[in-house]
Amino acid sequence: MKPTQPLHITVPDHMSGARLDYVLADLTQLSRSRIKALLNDGHVLYNQTKVKLKPSQIVCTGDCFCIDIPNSRPMVLEPENIPLDILYEDEYLLVVNKPANMVVHPSHGHDTGTLVHALLHHCPNLPGINGIERPGIVHRIDKNTSGSLVVAKTEAAHHGLVSLFASHDIDRQYLAWCRGAPTWNQQTIDEPIGRHPNHRQKMAITDTGKHAITEALLEQRFGTYFSRLRLTLHTGRTHQIRVHLAHLSLPILGDDIYARSFNPSKSIPEEARNTLLQLNRQALHAEILGFVHPITTEHIHCVAPLPQDLNQLNQAFEHALT
């Protein structure tokens, strides 16, 4: 196999003071997770010197980096005995409650411990459905989002589910805990979403983006500090809820991409503040997944219970801020 040519990067003026992983991802169009993996594995040289580089370190104008990208290897997926929280299952499909911090399918930097590895242990016949790396996968939710996700167990079910998602004939409802409290009780967010023009790993509201509609319903205000919203997806764009809520100045708590860094002030009651400081992911949960079964035509309605961290967050807010 012909070796991959190294990438040579020089930090431009306008990126001085930014994080290393952000700069390298932006200038190479590799994902930040891929950049972090390359840094951790020692594949990035600084000024032709092999030194320990941290993704978070700050770069300066003129810094030179050489990225040696190793040749990709065929991915061999081994089943892993990882427990699954199954909300519904029959011979054609299953709906799982994915925990936060679990990646749906393998990718660079995520070669083990994904939902797919767990599914292959649970359903040995999956490998023939939807390719080698994404067997049975019809849709995704972010690594740091918990909740309902449907998986096909047969080709017919996969085809039927893909059609349902394409026509948006699926009831997908999320719960989000946001910074700020809206003055409205219900809002339809109809804003196109596409790649960010400057940061290719991010999505953004853009005139050239794809049509995206999110229905937002205020469920509870926690004083003027925070709120809990119910979001219904009428389209399924990448990071749709996160981008739409950030656009309304209601960023999801714990979102490290679309929300500014947030240090809860001491004016927030201690119980709520302490719970916030312990939150290590975005407060977004795919609670409801409803659809007509593509094979049996049965109406499927799955509700994923709140995980412990979001339940604690909600209880702390209700106790301290209402």
Q: Above 80 in pLDDT, residue 121?
A: yes
* 254 touches 283 (CB < 8 A): yes
Model confidence at 2, pLDDT cuts 50, 70, 90, reads very low
Residue 115 one-letter amino acid: L
Same fold, 7-67 and 86-166: no
Please state the domain extents for the chain: 7-67, 86-166, 171-299+314-321
* Residues 149 and 103: beta-carbon distance below 8 Å: no
142 included as an active-site residue = yes
Distance CA(64)–CA(48), nearest Å, equals 8
Confidence band, pLDDT 50/70/90 cuts, at residue 106: confident
Return the CATH number of 171-299+314-321, one of 3.30.2350.10, 1.20.120.1200, 3.10.310.10, 3.20.20.140.
3.30.2350.10
Above 50 in pLDDT, residue 1?
no
For residue 175, what pLDDT band results from cuts at 50, 70 and 90? very high
Across the chain, mean pLDDT equals 90
Please state the length of the chain: 322
Residue 183 has pLDDT above 80, yes or no: yes
Distances from the Cα of 86 to the Cα of 21, 58, 122, 128, angstroms:
36, 43, 11, 21
Q: In what order do the strands lie in the sheet with 44-46?
A: 7-10, 64-67, 44-46
Tokens at 90, concatenated: 């029959």
Please state, in angstroms and rounded to a whole number, the distance separating the CA atoms of residues 236 and 242. Answer: 12
Grade residue 51 by pLDDT with cuts at 50, 70 and 90. Answer: confident
Separation of alpha carbons 23 and 55, rounded Å: 10
Give the CATH fold of the 7-67 domain.
3.10.290
Q: Which of 26, 142, 255, 309 is labelled catalytic?
A: 142
Burial class (CB in 10 A: 0-12, 13-18, 19+), 266: exposed
Architecture of domain 86-166: 2-Layer Sandwich (3.30)
CA–CA dist 152, 136 (Å, integer): 5
- pTM of structure: 0.77
Alpha-carbon distance of 280 to 276, in angstroms, equals 9
In the predicted model, what is the mean pLDDT of residues 224-230? Answer: 96
Summarised one tens digit per residue, pLDDT across range 232-271 is 999 999 999 999 999 999 999 999 999 987 788 888 999 9
List the one residue out of 242, 312, 298, 308 whose CA is nearest residue 95: 298
Angle at 95 between CA 74 and CA 314, to 5 degrees: 110
Any idea which of 62-71, 228-237, 293-302 has the lowest mean pLDDT? 62-71
Average pLDDT over residues 98-125: 87
